[in-house]
Amino acid sequence: MKMNELLKKHLVTLIVWSFCFIAPSLFCTGSWAATTDKASWVKETIPDNTIETGGASFNKTWTIKNSGTSTWNSSYKLKYNSNSAGRLSSISEVKISGSVSPGNTYTFTVPMKAPAPQNSEKAYREDWKFTNPSGSTIAVGSSSTIWALIKVPGTAAMGWSNETGYRHAETTKQKAIVSAALNGGNNRPSPQSVTGSPWLTDTAGGDGERIRLAIQDTYNYWVGKGRPYLPGLSIPSNAQDTMRKSISSNGGKYTLSEQNAIIGRIELRFNGTVPKKDDNNGILSYLSIRTQCKEFADRIVEACGGAKRSYGSSAVAKTDIRPGMYAFKNGNGHAAIIVAVYWDANGQPTQLRLAESNWGTGWTNPTGQVPWDRIVTTGRQVPISDYYVVTSA
In Å, how far are 7, 9, 231, 270 from 21, measured between CA atoms?
21, 19, 94, 91
Q: Among 254, 269, 287, where does a domain finish?
A: 287
pLDDT over 70 (residue 5): no
The helix/strand/coil state of 384 is: helix
Residue spans of beta strands (DSSP E) within 266-392: 326-329, 335-343, 349-357, 363-364, 367-368, 375-383, 387-390
- Residue 335 backbone dihedrals phi, psi, to 5 degrees: -140, 145
At residue 15, the pLDDT reads 46
Give the number of domains in the chain: 4
pTM (2 d.p.):
0.61
What residue type is assigned to position 363 of the chain? Answer: W
134 and 43 co-located in one domain:
yes
At residue 364, the pLDDT reads 64
- The answer to whether the CB of 266 falls within 8 A of the CB of 246 is no
pLDDT over 60 (residue 205): yes
316 and 168 co-located in one domain:
yes
The helix/strand/coil state of 97 is: coil
187 and 331 co-located in one domain:
yes
* pLDDT (average), residues 27-49: 77
Element of type H or E holding 43: strand 39-44
263 and 304 co-located in one domain:
no
183 and 306 co-located in one domain:
yes
Of the pLDDT bands very low, low, confident and very high (cuts 50, 70, 90), residue 4 is: low
17 and 97 co-located in one domain:
no
Torsional sign, CA 103, 104, 105, 106: negative
At residue 44, the pLDDT reads 95
CA-nearest of 289, 295, 391, 370 to 334 is 295
119 and 241 co-located in one domain:
no
150 and 253 co-located in one domain:
no
- The answer to whether the CB of 368 falls within 8 A of the CB of 291 is no
Of the pLDDT bands very low, low, confident and very high (cuts 50, 70, 90), residue 11 is: very low
* pLDDT (average), residues 3-31: 45
What's the CA dihedral at 362, 366, 369, 371 to 10 degrees?
A: -110
Q: Is residue 186 part of a domain?
A: yes
The helix/strand/coil state of 63 is: strand
pLDDT over 70 (residue 7): no
283 and 304 co-located in one domain:
no
pLDDT over 80 (residue 27): no
142 and 248 co-located in one domain:
no
Of the pLDDT bands very low, low, confident and very high (cuts 50, 70, 90), residue 232 is: confident
* pLDDT (average), residues 140-153: 93
- The answer to whether the CB of 347 falls within 8 A of the CB of 319 is yes
Over the stretch 81-98, which tens digit does the pLDDT of each residue have? 999 988 999 999 999 999
How high is the mean pLDDT of the chain? 87
- The answer to whether the CB of 337 falls within 8 A of the CB of 382 is no
Residue 295, judged by CB atoms within 10 A of its CB (0-12, 13-18, 19+), counts as buried
* Residue ranges making up the domain that contains 232: 204-287
45 and 150 co-located in one domain:
yes
